[in-house]
Amino acid sequence: MATKPEMAKIYIMGKEHQVPKELTIMGALEYAGYKYIRGAGCRAGFCGACSTIYRKKGEYKLYSDLACQTLVQDGMRLVQLPFVPAVKAKYDLGKLDVSKNTVLEYYPEIARCVTCNTCNKTCPQDLEVMEFIQAALKGDIEKSARLSFDCIQCGLCAVRCPADIKHYHVGQLVRRLYGKYMSKKSKNLEKRLKEMAHGKYDSEIDRLTRASKEELRQIYKSRDIEAAK
């Protein structure tokens, strides 16, 4: 006989719900009947879309995290963020140069960074956010791109930043600059692009697009993985 799960009382957008304690915030929202219209990565969407602000029972402090990573707690009050209202600079990557002031030109607010470490403490990926902003400010594109490589664009750093820096947009720009102008060109990539242009993989792509989800899972599980060199 299955044991009844221990329940927690949480509040979603101010409304009380009883949910099993072992659930993540994402699981609790779905248990309570909420549907992710703006799909998160593990719900056939994109990673970073489950940004959450919450308060714990008896505490005044606001916390921020990803709903897929955080377990519910009794008395937790949740608010989902449909998007982070951070303006993204407009630029034509093909017309940019890689100078020490390129990032500063499009995101001048990085000069306001007071190295308070709030972004580092906020990041659910434990990235060195403050460090990649400082590297971008100094014009070190390569270092900034490397430190921001695992950013999933959730925007939680920007929500908490007292200097109103759009860290995740800055990280995206430096990675694009590094990828286009500074990284070594891959001969294998050039070869593969030519093969694609000549239709070598058209039949395979057509097969995959027609496959069911279960077929795709099996193909993924049985794929050949090249050993690291």
Is the per-residue pLDDT at 226 higher than 60?
yes
> Taking CA 68 as the corner, what is the angle to CA 62 and CA 74, rounded to the nearest 5 degrees?
55
pLDDT at 198: 95
pLDDT digits (tens, 9 = 90+) for 113-138: 999 999 999 998 899 999 999 999 99
Segments of the chain assigned to CATH 1.10.1060.10: 93-182
pLDDT at 111: 96
pLDDT digits (tens, 9 = 90+) for 5-63: 899 999 998 899 999 999 999 899 999 998 766 556 666 655 777 888 899 988 988 88
Residue at 201: amino acid letter: Y
Looking at 3.40.50.1370, 3.40.50.300, 1.10.3720.10, 3.10.20.30, the CATH number of the domain 7-80 comes to 3.10.20.30
Segments of the chain assigned to CATH 3.10.20.30: 7-80
Is the per-residue pLDDT at 209 higher than 80?
yes
Mean pLDDT of 200-204: 94
Do residues 151 and 125 lie in contact, with contact meaning Cβ atoms separated by under 8 Å?
Answer: yes
pLDDT at 66: 87
- Looking at per-residue pLDDT, the higher value among 185 and 194 belongs to 194
Q: What is the model's pTM?
A: 0.73
Give the DSSP letter string of the chain. Answer: -PPPPPEEEEEETTEEEEEETTSBHHHHHHHTT---SS-BGGGTSBTT--EEEEE-TT----EEEETTT-B--TT-EEEE-S----PPPP--GGG----TTHHHHH-GGGGG-----HHHHH-TT---HHHHHHHHHTT-HHHHHHHTTT-----HHHHH-TT---HHHHHHHHHHHIIIIISPPPHHHHHHHHHHHTTTTHHHHHHHHHS-HHHHHHHHHT---PPP-
Q: How confident is the model at residue 80 (pLDDT cuts 50, 70, 90)?
A: confident
Question: Mean pLDDT for the chain?
Answer: 89
Q: How confident is the model at residue 143 (pLDDT cuts 50, 70, 90)?
A: very high
CA-to-CA distance for 172 and 177, rounded, in angstroms? 9
pLDDT at 41: 60
Domain 93-182 CATH class label: mainly alpha
pLDDT digits (tens, 9 = 90+) for 153-187: 888 999 889 999 999 999 999 999 999 999 988 88
